[in-house]
């Protein structure tokens, strides 16, 4: 049920994932996955993706945040095969 996130950048790289998730907020308070390569928060540092990607990611996190508030359980977006973060409604 819960997405199988890598917990460290080392684990992510070993599993061929571009992101990992610690559950620890970044310095700006985003409880978001981090990039395995840079260890940067994916919200603060959307890398050189398109504007479309950034908007989709923000929407995914917004939905995840609302779902977390609603249920009391932490929800985080999933990463699809193309590396996009998605949050089912
Ligand atoms: Zn951040």
How does pLDDT run across 73-89, given as a tens digit for each residue?
888 888 877 777 777 76
**Would you state the structure tokens that stand for residue 70, as one six-digit string?**
């609603």
**Would you state the structure tokens that stand for residue 42, as one six-digit string?**
């994916």
Helix (H, G, I), strand (E, B) or coil at 19: strand
Cα 71 to averaged position of ligand 1 atoms, centre (Å): 23
Helices (H), the chain: 9-14, 51-71
Cα 38 to averaged position of ligand 1 atoms, centre (Å): 13
Q: pLDDT tens digits, residue range 57-74?
A: 788 888 888 899 999 988
Q: What per-residue string of b and e applies to 59-78 under the rule 16 or more CB within 10 Å gives b? A: ebbebbbebeeeeeeebbbb
Cα 32 to averaged position of ligand 1 atoms, centre (Å): 7
Residue with tokens 């603060």, as numbered in its chain: 44
Of 69, 73, 44, the C-alpha closest to 58 is 44
| This prediction's pTM | 0.51
Q: pLDDT tens digits, residue range 11-28?
A: 998 998 888 999 999 999
Q: Where exactly are the structural domains of the chain?
A: 9-86
Q: pLDDT tens digits, residue range 32-52?
A: 999 888 888 988 887 656 666
Cα 64 to averaged position of ligand 1 atoms, centre (Å): 15
Cα 4 to averaged position of ligand 1 atoms, centre (Å): 21
């Amino acid at each position: 049920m819960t997405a199988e996130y890598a917990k460290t950048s080392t684990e992510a790289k070993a599993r061929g994932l571009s992101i990992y998730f610690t559950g620890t907020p970044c310095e700006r308070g985003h409880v978001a996955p981090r990039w395995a390569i840079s260890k940067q928060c994916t919200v603060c540092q959307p890398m050189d993706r398109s504007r479309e990607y950034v908007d989709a990611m923000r929407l995914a996190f917004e939905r995840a945040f609302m779902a977390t508030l609603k249920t009391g359980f932490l929800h985080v977006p999933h990463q699809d095969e193309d590396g996009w973060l998605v949050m089912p409604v």
